[in-house]
Amino acid sequence: MAASSDSLADILERVLDKGVVIAGDIGVSVVDVELLTLRIRLFIASAQTAREMGMDWWTNDPFFSPNAVREELGETDLAARVAALEARVPGRRDALR
């Protein structure tokens, strides 16, 4: 079998998400946390390292990164028009008087 060139993200996707689950008193799942929690922890833990490795797909995922939603709007005409309108509404950005 050829050596796999699958990325860490691909490996995590499979290793953390699938496989035989042992139920009952015999199997002790030490990692007794939800997959997503694990994922988020991992990404908080090593986002910097991962990014250097080019494993940053979650940065565009609204689930992990609410800003991704804004970025989708970011370049559109709509966003520009909203900004223009906001600029014309008096007192929008003023501090409390």
> Which residues make up the interface to other proteins (CB under 8 A)?
1-2, 4, 6, 8, 10-33, 38, 41-42, 44-46, 48-50, 57-58, 60-63, 68, 74-77
Calpha distance 32→51 (Å, rounded): 27
How near is the Cβ of 90 to other proteins at its closest, in Å?
23
Complex with other proteins: residue 60 or 86, whichever CB lies closer: 60
How near is the Cβ of 56 to other proteins at its closest, in Å?
11
The 8 Å CB, 24+ separation contacts for 34-42 are 39/12, 39/64, 40/64, 42/12
Residue 9: burial class (beta carbons within 10 Å; 0-12, 13-18, 19+): middle
How near is the Cβ of 37 to other proteins at its closest, in Å?
10
Complex with other proteins: residue 6 or 94, whichever CB lies closer: 6
